[in-house]
Amino acid sequence: MGRHGTIAGRKSAQDARRAAMFTKYTRQIIVAAKDGGDPDFNPSLRVAIDKAKGIGMPNDNINRAIKKGTGELAGESYEELSFEGYGTSGVAIIVEALTDNKNRTAAFVRSIFDKNGGNLGTPGCVSYMFDRKGVIVVEKTDDIDEDTITMDALDAGAEDLIVNEDNYEIRTEPSDYTTVLEAVKAAGYEVVESEIEFIPSMEANVTDESAIKSLNKLINALEDNDDVQNVHYNCTLPE
């Protein structure tokens, strides 16, 4: 089974953090637009815009973010950072951030790890436990034939398709992610989530309730920060 929870659970969590998501996607658009402001010629920007529209970000906000990225409007300059460490029970965690203040973000991440039974490590200390993959999630509906979507995904260049409770999880190499994503959309499938993620190759099994509570608190605190874009971890936690 894939690591993605139910679509209803993810949508509920996203709705609860809508304002924070606006900030995160604005930063993604700004950074992506540095390679060009036309989404027809900048796949990364096109993906960032699609995500922003998916959470209801107004077009004016999107256009301002693009202009900040291209330099047409004054704006902040963001740096990409990643942090690696361990949570309770030795769970491996990777944090990806976009920040205009490296010291502030590093201090925040270290503090959250320390306060929640974790340990921030050195670069490479846990990344070997993960594979970098593109993940495209399609909602499972009665009119989608499993064999057909599998063939469509593989023909588009996907590595694998995983069948979950209420969705199909398509995995790709990072270099093929945009091509496969566009092909899946062109074939008429509704993409409810897509991202290039760190997929764990070694899964931790956490059953202790206090450890689960501590891990959830750590991960939620990280995800609620405007600088943090993604948090990846090698265990399955209750939603």
CATH number assigned to the domain comprising residue 206: 3.30.70.980
Q: 211 lies in a domain?
A: yes
Distance CA 202, CA 129 (A): 6
Largest CA distance in the chain: 52
Q: 1 lies in a domain?
A: no
For 178-210, the pLDDT digits (tens) are 999 999 999 999 998 898 999 999 899 999 999
Residue-range definition of the domain harbouring residue 159:
129-200
Domain stop point among 33, 52, 70: 70
- Mean pLDDT in residue range 215-235: 94
What pLDDT was estimated at residue 156? 96
* pLDDT value at 161 more than 70: yes
Q: What are phi and psi of 165, to 5 degrees?
A: -55, -45
* pLDDT value at 147 more than 70: yes
What pLDDT was estimated at residue 83? 98
Same domain membership, residue 152 and residue 119: no
Domain stop point among 70, 89, 115: 70
Split at pLDDT 50, 70, 90, the class of 1 is very low
**Sign, CA torsion 146/177/44/17:** positive
For 55-114, the pLDDT digits (tens) are 899 999 999 999 999 999 997 889 999 999 999 999 999 999 999 999 999 999 999 999
Residue pair 211/89 in contact by the 8 Å Cβ criterion: yes
pLDDT more than 70, % of the chain = 92
Q: 2 lies in a domain?
A: no
How close are the terminal C-alpha atoms of the chain, in Å?
Answer: 16
Q: Which residue has the higher pLDDT, 26 or 5?
A: 26
Q: 238 lies in a domain?
A: no
- Mean pLDDT in residue range 29-47: 92
Q: 48 lies in a domain?
A: yes
Same domain membership, residue 224 and residue 124: yes
Whole-model pTM? 0.84
Split at pLDDT 50, 70, 90, the class of 148 is very high
